[in-house]
Amino acid sequence: MEKIKMITPLVEMDGDEMTRILWQMIKDELLTPFIDLKTEYYDLGLEHRNETNDQVTIDSAEATKKYGVAVKCATITPNAARMSEYTLKEMWKSPNGTIRAILDGTVFRAPIVVKGIEPNVKTWKKPITIARHAYGDVYKATEMKIPSAGKAELVFTNEKGEETRELIHNFTGSGIIQGQHNICGSIESFARSCFNYALDTKQDLWFATKDTISKKYDHTFKDIFQEIYDAEYADKFKAAGIEYFYTLIDDAVARVMKSEGGYIWACKNYDGDVMSDMISSAFGSLAMMTSVLVSPQGYYEYEAAHGTVQRHYYKHLKGEETSTNSIATIFAWTGALRKRGELDNIPALCDFADKLEKASLQTIEDGKMTKDLALITTLSNPVVLNSQDFIKAIRSTLEAML
């Protein structure tokens, strides 16, 4: 079989620990035998980030702006323990945070649904994709403990020095206060990323806030979404046969629990933080969750939602066998390859991505899986494979399909 040719390179962001091991296996077993893989390689492994004073992370994000599509391996976000483990010059920032700041993007997380791994919510038949606004609100709040009686106010001073005041509360005793903010430009970017991604994946878009209680703050989110939708997207949604649906956050939560799935749920920062953990655990496993960062300009960065699976990596280093699930990392590659195929008009590349996803799921449905899935599957007598053999099993299924 002739290998599939690519035109534009993918931006390849390599990473750390167990996922770095899986990364190489996936390329060797599932990609390079079938594709003339063209990538521009950036090593975001912690050692190389440290050597380059984290410049490599910035360069990889800039390259994503140049080429449009990136695929990223999970990376370590350094903490105190990592400082000594890797003798770091500095506690480098989270690469995902750095890349997100440069691309100004929104992260969409979607579960991979497969027979034998059943969601805890009986009605869910299709994936629910969560989009989380990644700026502001409680994550950039200023807080104060109020020790005793007194008056708390919100004060805004404009550039001319004129003040606008709102009373927060007249305290008669001790209490607490918090000031939150957001930026209209950031909410607009969030809205556009959500509308674009809904069109891209032909799914309805839901958005919810608490605008009945928060008549200025949350209501601004609602208004910005509606204005951008009416001005730029209503016609496109109609043509694509999809819907934009706004409701109150409590109504949205109730509807989600009774829905079939198959839509994108756009969430404010805090709602997205909390609800994405609920959705991912109710769908089965963090190892079956994909993640894509979409910028309002239409740049895409695909990855797995889980981390570097440190505990498995230490076993691997000791020479012990691991059974680490590579599905989400494989789907990061297929997402990126399919998008590259669409942008460069290479149907064979899109077709290959579809088949590799199908082969991955078929392998699980045939009863061959990693330990994390074997523990929760409804299939009887699953065969538990190690990290390498699972990828090899997917390759056999794929070869039979091609």
Residues interacting with ligand NAP, by CB under 6 A? Answer: 74-77, 96, 286-287, 303, 306-311, 324-325, 372
Query: Which of 324, 363 has the CB closer to ligand NAP?
Result: 324
The number of beta carbons lying within 10 Å of the beta carbon of residue 256 is 22
Query: Which of 58, 278 has the CB closer to Mg ion?
Result: 278
Cβ 9 vs Cβ 343: under 8 Å:
no
Query: Which of 220, 386 has the CB closer to ligand NAP?
Result: 386
Distance, first Cα to last Cα, the chain: 9
Q: How far apart are CA 106 and CA 269, in angstroms?
A: 11
Q: How far apart are CA 268 and CA 106, in angstroms?
A: 11
Torsion angles phi and psi, residue 395, rounded to 5: -60, -45
Q: How far apart are CA 113 and CA 126, in angstroms?
A: 7
Query: Which of 130, 393 has the CB closer to Mg ion?
Result: 130
| Residues from 277 through 336 that contact Mg ion (CB under 5 A) | 277
Which one-letter amino acid corresponds to residue 310? Q
Q: Measuring CA to CA, which residue among 95, 10, 12 is closest to residue 55?
A: 95
Closest separation in Å from C-beta 173 to ligand NAP:
42
If contact means CB under 5 to 8 A according to the sort of partner, which of ligand NAP, Mg ion, none does residue 286 touch? ligand NAP
User: Does 273 sit near Mg ion (CB under 5 A)?
Assistant: yes
Beta-carbon contacts of 231 under 8 Å, excluding residues fewer than 6 positions away, are none
Query: Which of 17, 218 has the CB closer to ligand NAP?
Result: 17
Query: Which of 99, 228 has the CB closer to ligand NAP?
Result: 99
Closest separation in Å from C-beta 322 to ligand NAP:
9
The number of beta carbons lying within 10 Å of the beta carbon of residue 150 is 13
Q: How far apart are CA 269 and CA 274, in angstroms?
A: 9
If contact means CB under 5 to 8 A according to the sort of partner, which of ligand NAP, Mg ion, none does residue 273 touch? Mg ion
If contact means CB under 5 to 8 A according to the sort of partner, which of Mg ion, ligand NAP, none does residue 287 touch? ligand NAP
If contact means CB under 5 to 8 A according to the sort of partner, which of ligand NAP, Mg ion, none does residue 386 touch? none
**Residue of closest CB approach to ligand NAP:** 307
If contact means CB under 5 to 8 A according to the sort of partner, which of Mg ion, ligand NAP, none does residue 353 touch? none
Closest separation in Å from C-beta 191 to ligand NAP:
24
If contact means CB under 5 to 8 A according to the sort of partner, which of Mg ion, ligand NAP, none does residue 310 touch? ligand NAP
Strand, helix or coil for residue 71: strand
Closest separation in Å from C-beta 72 to ligand NAP:
7
Closest separation in Å from C-beta 310 to ligand NAP:
4
The number of beta carbons lying within 10 Å of the beta carbon of residue 66 is 11
Closest separation in Å from C-beta 138 to ligand NAP:
20
Closest separation in Å from C-beta 288 to Mg ion:
17
Strand, helix or coil for residue 302: strand
Query: Which of 79, 164 has the CB closer to ligand NAP?
Result: 79
Q: Give bridge partners of residue 332 from the DSSP assignment.
A: none
Q: Measuring CA to CA, which residue among 59, 78, 52 is closest to residue 13?
A: 59
If contact means CB under 5 to 8 A according to the sort of partner, which of ligand NAP, Mg ion, none does residue 325 touch? ligand NAP
Q: How far apart are CA 231 and CA 345, in angstroms?
A: 29
Query: Which of 77, 186 has the CB closer to ligand NAP?
Result: 77
Q: Measuring CA to CA, which residue among 228, 209, 396, 204 is closest to residue 296?
A: 228
* Tokens 């997207």, located at residue: 233
Positions that interact with Mg ion (CB under 5 A): 273, 277
